[in-house]
Structure 1
Amino acid sequence: MTGVTLGCVRRIYDHSYPGPRWVRRLCWRSLAGQVLVVQVIVVTVLVAAATAAFVVQARRGERDAARGKALAVATAFAQSPGLVAALRSPDVSATLQPRAEATRRATGVDFVVVMSPAGVRYTHPDPARIGGVFVGHIAAAARGKAFTETYTGTLGPSVRAVVPVLDERGDVAGMVAAGITLERISATLRRQLPVLIGTAAAVLILAACGEVLVSRRLRRQTRSLRVAEIVRLYEHHEAVLHAVREGLLVVGTDHRLLLANDEAVRLLGLPAMADGRPVRDLLVAGSLAELLDSGRRATDEIHLAGDRVLAVNQTPASRDGRPLGTVTTLRDSTELLALTGELDSVRGFADALRAQAHEAANRLHTVVTLIELNREQEAIEFATEELAASQQLADRLLTALDEPVLAALLLGKAAQAHEHGIDFVITDDTQLHATQPYATPVDPRALVTMVGNLVDNAVDAALAGQPPRWVAVTVRIVGEVTGEDGEGEREELVVRVADSGPGLEPARTAAAFARGWSTKAGGALHGRGLGLALVQQVVARYGGRIDVTNDRGAVFTVRLPLEPVVGALPAVRAVP
């Protein structure tokens, strides 16, 4: 029966149940319908099996009770006073028949039979059978041992007990048999059966009502979807999560992470088994953690995560007016911003070239006019003066720096500073030669990001200060003693950018390196939204550090070890 039931359940779930049309429609309508049918089948089978087991157990119990009762009656009668003397009387049947029948009626057994050691009956419920041979086994009782058995005798199948009657010497003087027919036992069970069936029906009805309530709740929760539809939704959900190139985070109303796809785990470096943990505990630092925890709406906000720049969109999710949490998408914009920075640098170079071309045209007209006025010497001196200054700076950079990208960057920044009336100084100790080991420990693009943003901030600060305005840049490699005994040196790249601005207060140093800290509108001096944050990323990538001091203006000093080391964010120190 169990195998048939499981087969039906399996066929219901795979939509191959060949039953009535209404059953198939119920099963195929929704997952809740299938669960209801399966639960009804399972509960019905369980109740039927429990009822059958109870009937079998009750029948066995009734037989055991009848066996014990028969044994007790037979033993009590066999040990009753005067029984041995009655067995030795001239007319045993006349003496014991009334006594046996009285005992039978008093105890409720079906027969009490007294017999000789050879099995000849002295008593019987049917007087006509007195004097006949007892139908059943008596060998064990004839040896002095009481026993019980189920046997078919003159009154039909019965549960009986046969007990020996012992005289004063311990010899078997006779035997007593008492029994209850199986028909009486079955009649007792039949009287109990309506109660049992009623109880089983009540249990089945209560279980069915509970299943209906569960099914209705399940139907609401599954939106009345069928199994195939749920499976399809799950497969599509998994496919989208693993295929999308953007990071996806789902945060619940309790500020715990509900879901993170592969790209989000990669971008944020989330730990294993991150689902269910508070977003504050996911090693997501800074403004991104604040955004995820706040649940506010965000559109294309730029946030830093380790050495990555992420464009973040966040939208609160709700259904039927009930908030469900937030959905956050992450897009890696690190390379895009790096390319944007390079494009800005190239655009700056182009602007500087246009300005120089315009200024060169003016100088050329001046030289031509001087020649036309027969002032050739003055024309030569005027033409070579500016050219010598520009050539001197170019020669100085090309001689001191073997990294052409860095040299080109500083030349372009010099032109921009000159255009704003700022004196751009390359200090005398600037040296970066390929003959030294690891002369350029960082990628050229990282150099452009780091030095370019520092110089841009310095130019802005100089413009905000009082004349004379200047920016000084130093790039060199130094050795640092690392051993306690004074032996051993570690070479590192030092980039120092100073300006003539008002400086940066030590209390605002850490804030200056935070994402989005901009002073353009506020009138402060340093910080350009992402500029210093990007500088900090480069420094963190190479395991360096940043020192910020004030010396007639702000001084930013970056130290990068020659061996690239990927580590945590560097400490930013403010030295008064």
Structure 2
Amino acid sequence: MDRARIGGLTALRGPRVITLVAVQFSIVAICMLTTLLVALQVQHTSIREETGERALDVAMSLAELPAVVEAVGSPDAGATLQPLADLVSESAGVDYVVITDDAGIRITHPVPERRGELVSTDPSIALGGETFVGTEVGTVGPTLRAKVPVWRDGVVVGTASVGILESSISAQLEERIWQVVPWVVGAGLFGLACAAGVSLLLGRRFDQLTVAAQEFETQRRLASALREQTHEFSNRLHVLFGLIEVDEREEALDYIRTLTPVDSLAAAPDLEETLADAPVRVRAILAAASARLCEHGGHLQADVEIEDRTGTGLAFGDDAATVLSNLVRNAVDAVETQGEHGVVRVAIEEEADGLRIQVDDSGPGIAPELRDRITEAGFSTKTTETRDGLEIPRGVGLGLVRRLAEAHGGALVIADSELGGARFVATLPNASTRADADSEAASTGRMDQ
């Protein structure tokens, strides 16, 4: 190469390096700004969702408290509920808690002068028995609020409204922004410094074209290798799909073991064999409970006499799965502290008129005087949190089981178990049995007339 050409390339190298550095700086700056904007949007959305869920949880918990249900509509409701509203507002970190009667008149409000007045926003949704979550402008300013109905004996007797000021949300967003900005700016500056260093380093090398060509070849080979691996992975997925499609579970597990060092997760082989023909939901619920018991040394026994016949009234559906899951979870909670002596026994039987689910445990049992109350909403035998003399209930699982059973025309019966703890028996009549019962009741009614 002659000196004139060398001199020309040398003269051009400076502008090219400056151009390259400018382009890289621009790309890094754009990426940094884009990342910052996306992060801010994600944080904004996340904060609003978290705030709305928190307000809704507080409002629903407040509306279900027996003290609130009983006091709404009474002459001294304000004196009873205002201290409770102040306590909930302070402990939950919300800006206001308002409880109204069935006419939308405020019983509680953080500003005393506002008590006894009609609420400033439309209460019709909550008074109609539905839940509202959204932003409205009230007496304390724009707030993200949740409104829920207060039910008593199946009738809406008032509302519970919980709000968080938009200014509080903005302050929280600003706080998170200042937590994110230093990282984004730092990463951007680091990227810019690296880009500048790389550009200057490449600018000093006269053979940068050769280096670029070599890098391109390396990337080409890497892309080719990745395509081969992707093709191989796709073939393996096809094999697994085929094995699962023909219900060859063991073959599928063996094939996975040839690809990666994993082993079966079954902690109780006897239970796995017992549940081999059980519906998949039953297997999943009992396998999870068994694994939890095994961690504490206990064990689960099962006797399942049911086939999952979808399309018939005896299919093990969502309600049956919910009932079984709640009963088993309560039983596991009751025996966890017993270690190797903890036993939970589950029996699921398909009867002529539906399903019978029985769960026994070796726990402390349920006292006879509590059996009628334990399925009431807001009642629990577990430790309750007490603040200023106010007990906040925890459990709702057994109440849900009772409601589901009764919705199917069945029942939940609580008794003593031969294992030493409690026995829960839930019956879930199938659709045809309920239809026959309704038809018989209608016929009886016509005959009486």
TM-score interval, smaller chain: 0.3 to 0.5
Higher relative contact order (CA 8 A, sep 6+): 2
Structure with the higher fraction of residues in helix conformation: 2
TM-score normalised by structure 2 residue count: 0.42
TM-score normalised by structure 1 residue count: 0.33
Structure possessing the higher radius of gyration over alpha carbons: 1
